[in-house]
Structure 1
Amino acid sequence: MTAEHVITKPVVAAVAAHAARGVAGVSRLEAGLAGLVGSVARTARQRIKGLDPAPTEGVRVRMDVGVRLEVDIVTTADDQAAAVGRAVQRAVARAVTNATGLAVVEVAVSILDIELS
């Protein structure tokens, strides 16, 4: 008998969020309006079940042929925003593939704000 593993969107989002937060120049992840509504509903469901939800704010996941992620970040003014965005793309794709074995076909990064020091 073989074991079957199911990897859900919140798990992928948590891995992606952790990876994005670890990139130099990322101040924080920022949930847009759509992400905020989804996050509140998911957190409520998990708390009802007695689970402590992993932070996933600022990450949206679509899973079809491959994994497509949207990551919303706030950068620091000390780094080039475009370079930080590319670094987030690479870090998120690598982390999700390494942690889940799933193929990441797209990581779209939106820079919502730049924090002045």
Structure 2
Amino acid sequence: MTPEHVITKPVVAAVAAHAARGVTGVVRLEPGVAGLVGSVARTARQRFKGLDPVPTEGVRVRVENQVWVEVDVVTSAVDQAVAVARAVQRAVSRAITDATGLPVAAVAVFVLDIELS
């Protein structure tokens, strides 16, 4: 009998956040208002359980048979926002599949700001 593995949304979100931050042109992930509320609640739950919170701000995940991801980014003005968003989609999709084996249905990237400096 093979052991069953459960992959939770925070794990998938952490993988996605790490992959997105590694894309050239991404200055940072930027949570919206809903993301901030969710992040505070998630961090509190993790600390209550004695766990170190993983950085998932700016990432929302839905997991069923497939994974749907939304990523909020701030890009550099030096890079084209569309090219950066496409690179984030590819990097996040590949990282989730490689790390979890779960198929990714969609990665939506929202460019919330473009940093000039």
TM-score bracket for this pair, using the shorter chain length: over 0.9
RMSD between superposed Cα atoms in Å: 0.6
Is 1:57 the counterpart of 2:62? The answer is no
If the length of structure 2 is used for normalisation, what is the TM-score? 0.98
Look up the match of 2:71. 71
Q: Secondary structure at the match of 1:107?
A: strand
Look up the match of 1:19. 19
Look up the match of 1:45. 45
Question: How far apart in 2 are the matches of 1:5 and 1:53?
Answer: 21
Q: Secondary structure at the match of 2:99?
A: helix
Look up the match of 2:5. 5
Runs of 4+ in 1 over 3 A off after TM superposition: none
Cα shift at 1:72: 0.1
Question: How far apart in 1 are the matches of 2:62 and 2:104?
Answer: 10
Q: Secondary structure at the match of 2:39?
A: helix
Q: Secondary structure at the match of 2:17?
A: helix
Question: How far apart in 1 are the matches of 2:76 and 2:84?
Answer: 9
Question: How far apart in 2 are the matches of 1:87 and 1:74?
Answer: 13
Identity percentage over the alignment? 78
Where structure 2 has 5 or more consecutive residues not aligned to the other structure, the ranges are: none
Question: How far apart in 2 are the matches of 1:55 and 1:87?
Answer: 20
Look up the match of 1:109. 109
Greater shift in the superposed pair: 88-97 or 58-67? 58-67
If the length of structure 1 is used for normalisation, what is the TM-score? 0.98
- Count of residues paired in the alignment: 117
Cα shift at 1:63: 1.1
Q: Secondary structure at the match of 1:20?
A: helix
Match for 2:69: what amino acid?
Answer: L
Deviations along 1:11-48, one digit per CA (max 9) or x if unpaired, are 00000000000000000000011111111101000001
Q: Secondary structure at the match of 2:102?
A: coil
